[in-house]
Amino acid sequence: MSRAHIRLLDRRGHEINPRKVDWSKEHSDSYTFRQDRGTQNSLGSLRISMPNKHDVYMHDTPKKKLFARVYRFLSHGCVRVEGVYDLAAWLLEGAPGSPTGHWDQATITQKIADGERDDVRLAHAVPVIWVYLTGWASADGTVHFRNDIYGMDKEAMLRPGRAEQRYSSYTNPR
């Protein structure tokens, strides 16, 4: 944990020495594992939070070479974004708090280099819809299939109607 710059916190947010925890008796969900900011952080230097019950967000990565891979399912549910600074500048258009009066890649980069966490609220809400497809047809009628790496197809099959309900709630908000 120390090599990865990860600290162990109790439920009140106090740091604990992980060597003093009897892991044979304790449950890991009793603790928070927090990785420090910096170049080693697996989320990179920028996180784009969105309200959702699964705590899924978009983020940078210090391992930019991962974007060149064909197989990119290396995250644990959140989404690494190639060009995250460009996306952040677009999202922050018109948002208050920029030291230069507007948010662009250079301003965001400088803000991060200052080393202090800054949560910036968007000027306008931006809807985000996650689409997970393991099968689809292209315009020419070719049917494509991909591996179901998250096991969502099996979940949908075990609960008939659930996938359709999820889809209809996104396409026909009530």
User: Which positions are catalytic?
Assistant: 59, 78
DSSP-assigned letters across all residues of 98-151: -TTSS--HHHHHHHHHTT-------SS---------SEEE-TTS-EEE---TT-
pLDDT at 56: 84
Residue 87 in this model has a pLDDT that exceeds 90:
yes
**pLDDT interval class at 164 (50, 70, 90):** low
Mean pLDDT over 60-79 rounds to 79
pTM to 2 decimals? 0.70
Tokens of 33: 């594992």
DSSP 62: S
Q: Domain ranges in the chain?
A: 1-36, 41-127, 131-174
pLDDT at 165: 52
Mean pLDDT over 141-165 rounds to 76
Instruction: Note the Cα 106 to chain centre separation in Å.
Output: 22
Residue 28 in this model has a pLDDT that exceeds 80:
no
Helix (H) or strand (E) holding 47: strand 47-48
